[in-house]
Amino acid sequence: MDPHGLLVLSHALFTCAEQSEIVRLAMRQVSALGPYRAEAGYLATGGGLSRVPGHDAGAPTVDDAQMTKLGEADGSVSLPERSWNWAFGLRGAGGLLGYIVVSSHSGPDEQGHFLLASLVGLTSAALSLAATRVSQHESTGELVRLRTERDTALRRLDTMRSKLHLQRTVHETLARVAARGGGEHAITQALYELTGLSALVEDRFGNLRSWAGPDRPDPYPVRSATNQEEMLRQVTREAGPVRFKDRLIALARPRGDLLGVLALQDPGATADEQTVFALDHAQRSLAQELMHMRELAGVELRLRRQLIDDLLEGTDETSAYARAEAVGHDLQRTHYVVVVHWPGNGADDSFTRAVEQATDTTAARPLITRRGDRVVLLTEARPDDDAVHAALAHELGTPEGAIGVSTRCDSPDGVPRCYQEALRALKVRQNSRQRSGTTFFDDLGLYRILGPGNDLRELEDFVREWLGQLIDYDAGHDTELVETLSRYFDCGGNYDDAAAALTVHRSTLRYRLQRIREISDRDLADVDTRLNLQVATRVWKIILSGRR
């Protein structure tokens, strides 16, 4: 092979990327160098030598075991029918790269040695270049992989740093609210500021307690009890905040007891992981706040009940004022004792709450306790006629209940007396024909002397004796002679006052009184007759409820 041929061969070898192809290409050029034949080609691998496939010019005659014994050195190998057989080592900077086994019938001359050595050198260089290319490619790929992993790790780190910053902001914001003693309104406002979504708190029945942010409905929609319970069931099935329609909802349930509902208005479903995190932590703060409020309310309730129990029995006035002030009640004001009894409703918490709700609209918050199956209140305002009874009848679903109200009480030491008055008024109502309603001790009048009404039959007989004819006449003629007589006595026998009370003319009143004299055959000018008639009309009005 001339120099030009070597140049062409070197170009072919150096442009080849596959090491096995380089060895095959070199083996094909051996016969062009002289009377030589390439018997086999090998590449060095991690596990030893690997024969290069694809060249079958007598290659099967080479014993691979002989090649292993060379130990990376050039050397002679035994082949049948060939007198000269030589394994040329292909070497690079890192050591042995492979072998080319060449045979001939006679050994090469000086030129032959030069040409074979040149081919081996070119092949070794080409193998080294190919190995370098592979290494560089692998290094480049590894570098790209490492850079990608680094960039991914940095992005994750950035995301984690941002996430931790937002979570720390949530913790610090809610911690400040707690440190300042902020209640549920402060928690709602903080959640709105953290998320940018309108936040709200409802009680377990769906009534709004707090709202922060825009678009508050006015009036606030009231869900039916069925829809509310269905919503609570769906949210309770899962742990943590749950999406329900256009809201993200979390339940405040310390110790498993549902105290409230915290929600974010999110009609666009924009809430992300950080929003859920903020809502969940705000719910925990709200649960602690509501539990604290419940515990305080329980303590206050016990103190208020202990106070009224002691007042009903009689207690030191100075101590009573101090204890009342501690629970936010002003005993310096005028009070009334109210006793409530509703058959079929034991004096349990539900009945007590119903009484509290019924009196909310009539007075400041009363002191309240239970005595047997009755509820007793100490209230600052005298109930308005049957207002409390009507409210309770609506609350409990039945009007079959009675209320007794005392006279005014101006100091704590008068509470026991007023309690007995309220009990007397209640008993009078319960022993009257109209057992349901409200009786005021002030209205008992003469009946305070007659007793609480145990002998109802005797009283009815007394009324029949003195008013029977008038009652029968009124029933038969649809007149109001008994009522006229009652108002006449209530006005002290004054014609003008009685006529005004009855909204009739004086002449009409005079005519009615004349008819009363004629029908009853009673002399209204007689002192004893007037007294008995007056007592009879009072008993008829109070005890018998004006029945005919």
Residue pair 52/20 in contact by the 8 Å Cβ criterion: yes
CA distance 462 to 422: 26
Q: Are residues 200 and 92 in the same domain?
A: no
Q: 208-216 — which CB contacts under 8 Å span 24+ positions?
A: 209/184, 209/260, 210/184, 210/185, 212/185, 212/188, 213/265, 215/265
**Is position 366 within any domain?**
yes
545 confidence band (pLDDT: 50, 70, 90): low
Cβ-count burial 72-102 (b if 16+ within 10 Å, e if not): eeeeebebeebeebbbbbbbbeeebbbbbbb
- Identify the domain boundary among 111, 138, 165: 138
Q: Are residues 284 and 353 in the same domain?
A: no
Q: Are residues 35 and 74 in the same domain?
A: yes
Angle at 56 between CA 54 and CA 104, to 5 degrees: 130
379-408 pLDDT per residue, tens: 988 888 788 888 888 888 888 999 999 999
Query: Per mean pLDDT, which range of 282-291, 317-326, 416-425, 444-453 is the poorest?
Result: 444-453
Residue-level pLDDT at 415: 94
431-458 pLDDT per residue, tens: 887 889 999 988 775 566 565 544 566 6
Query: Per mean pLDDT, which range of 19-28, 160-169, 196-205 is the poorest?
Result: 160-169
410 confidence band (pLDDT: 50, 70, 90): very high
Q: Are residues 429 and 466 in the same domain?
A: no
Residue-level pLDDT at 70: 86
Average pLDDT over residues 14-39: 89
Closest CA to 452 of 424, 419, 430, 429: 424
Q: Assess whether pLDDT exceeds 60 at residue 7.
A: yes
**Is position 488 within any domain?**
yes
Q: Are residues 485 and 441 in the same domain?
A: no
Q: Assess whether pLDDT exceeds 50 at residue 244.
A: yes
Q: Does the CA dihedral 348-350-355-359 come out positive or negative?
A: positive
Under 8 Å CB-to-CB from 1, ≥6 apart: which residues? Answer: 9, 29, 32, 33, 115
CATH number at residue 350: 3.30.70.270
Q: Are residues 429 and 475 in the same domain?
A: no
**CA 466 to chain CA centroid, nearest Å:** 70
Q: Are residues 409 and 356 in the same domain?
A: yes
Q: Are residues 368 and 283 in the same domain?
A: no
Query: Helix and strand tally (H, E) in the chain?
Result: 17, 15
CA distance 421 to 385: 17
110-146 pLDDT per residue, tens: 888 988 998 999 999 888 888 888 777 777 777 777 7
Q: Are residues 423 and 465 in the same domain?
A: no
**Is position 178 within any domain?**
no
User: Starting from the edge strand earliest in sequence, which strands make up the sheet with 402-405, in order?
Assistant: 367-371, 374-379, 336-341, 402-405, 437-440
Residue pair 85/77 in contact by the 8 Å Cβ criterion: yes
184-200 pLDDT per residue, tens: 899 999 899 899 999 99
Average pLDDT over residues 276-304: 85
336-371 pLDDT per residue, tens: 999 999 988 765 678 888 888 887 765 578 898 988
- Identify the domain boundary among 450, 482, 503: 450
CA distance 182 to 295: 17
**Is position 162 within any domain?**
no
Q: Are residues 344 and 231 in the same domain?
A: no
Q: Assess whether pLDDT exceeds 70 at residue 461.
A: yes
Q: Are residues 431 and 477 in the same domain?
A: no
**Residue 541: how many other CB atoms lie within 10 Å:** 20
CA distance 157 to 11: 50
Q: Which residue has the higher pLDDT, 54 or 12?
A: 12
* 409 bridge partner residues: 335
**Is position 320 within any domain?**
no
CA distance 291 to 307: 24
**Is position 168 within any domain?**
no
Residue pair 297/285 in contact by the 8 Å Cβ criterion: no
Query: Pairing state of beta strands 402-405 and 336-341?
Result: antiparallel
Average pLDDT over residues 30-35: 89
Percent of all residues in the chain with a pLDDT value above 70, rounded to a whole number: 92
CA dihedral 381→423→411→377, nearest 10 degrees, is -50
Phi, psi (rounded to 5 degrees) for 87 = -100, 110
User: Starting from the edge strand earliest in sequence, which strands make up the sheet with 84-92, in order?
Assistant: 48-51, 37-45, 95-104, 84-92, 75-76
CATH number at residue 508: 1.10.10.2840
Q: Which amino acid is at 462?
A: F
Q: Assess whether pLDDT exceeds 50 at residue 42.
A: yes
Q: Assess whether pLDDT exceeds 60 at residue 546.
A: no
What is the number of domains present in the chain? 4
Q: Which residue has the higher pLDDT, 137 or 372?
A: 372
Residue-level pLDDT at 59: 47
Average pLDDT over residues 69-84: 86
Residue pair 275/248 in contact by the 8 Å Cβ criterion: yes
Residue-level pLDDT at 240: 82
Average pLDDT over residues 524-529: 86
Structural domain for 469, as ranges: 456-542
- Identify the domain boundary among 450, 468, 496: 450
**Residue 369: how many other CB atoms lie within 10 Å:** 21
Q: Residue by residue, what is the 3-state secondary structure of 340-385?
A: EECCCCCCCHHHHHHHHHHHCCCCCCCEEEEECCEEEEEECCCCCC
CA distance 72 to 175: 75
Tokens 């022993």 locate to 431
Mean per-residue pLDDT of the chain: 85
Q: Are residues 40 and 134 in the same domain?
A: yes
Residue-level pLDDT at 69: 86
Residue-level pLDDT at 445: 59
